[in-house]
Chains A and B, each alone.
Chain A
Amino acid sequence: KNQVEQSPQSLIILEGKNCTLQCNYTVSPFSNLRWYKQDTGRGPVSLTIMTFSENTKSNGRYTATLDADTKQSSLHITASQLSDSASYICVVSAILSGTASKLTFGTGTRLQVTL
């Protein structure tokens, strides 16, 4: 069964500090891994997409890493801001056939950045 597990479930950090969120998956055959940011009461917004051959991808202060061998990914947030307070969702895409794929969503890490 395809699964995506995220840790920690929630996290509180001080503004300006860095943090790292973890994602472990058991999805196959693997196509790509995505990180989304979801503000409370809003829809998720894409941060990064990484394929099998990519180890690192950055989007501003967000840097995602992927280790396809150990089936682990991390999202590192640098110099956190109050606006980073949100849920971060890891999503793994599995190839079904041809161009068809299936997404498995993690339950998210709830990040709160405080003063």
Chain B
Amino acid sequence: DGGITQSPKYLFRKEGQNVTLSCEQNLNHDAMYWYRQDPGQGLRLIYYSQIVNDFQKGDIAEGYSVSREKKESFPLTVTSAQKNPTAFYLCASSFWAELSNQPQHFGDGTRLSIL
């Protein structure tokens, strides 16, 4: 089955530690995205990538970094510079050229908590 796989489902971070969230898709989608979901707020875009080796900052990129070395993979690193990292992180993908009328497909998220 085609889809998006995020791992791990739960992740704990110590103060001053960087952690990396994995996102893999086998939908042959060009574009991939990372969102953050907090209680009572809509999803907020962290980073997105239209093609391999290219990515753009979203609305809340500070304290995060990404890479796009393969079309299928778009890992997100939450750095120690992110002072409030506790949240539910969602990865999504879509066909970029027809983004306007194509849905984004989401993974099942990673819940990050601070120890």
Contact = CB atoms under 8 A, between A and B. Distances in A.
A105 B97 CA distance: 21
A42 B103 CA distance: 17
Given A4-B42, A107-B40, A107-B41, A42 B101 contact: no
Q: Indicate the size class of the contact surface on chain B.
A: 20 to 34
A43 B108 contact: yes
A104 B42 contact: yes
B81 interface: no
Contacts, number: 53
A46 B103 contact: yes
Given A46-B103, A51-B101, A103 B109 contact: no
B14 to A, nearest CB: 24
Nearest to A44: B106
A79 interface: no
Interface in B72-115: 90, 92, 96-109, 111
Given A42-B108, A43-B107, A43-B109, A32 B42 contact: no
Nearest to A46: B103
Interface centre among B42, B97, B98, B106 (most CB of A within 10 A): B42
Given A89-B42, A89-B43, 8 more contacts: A43-B90, A46-B103, A46-B105, A49-B102, A93-B100, A99-B99, A106-B42, A107-B41
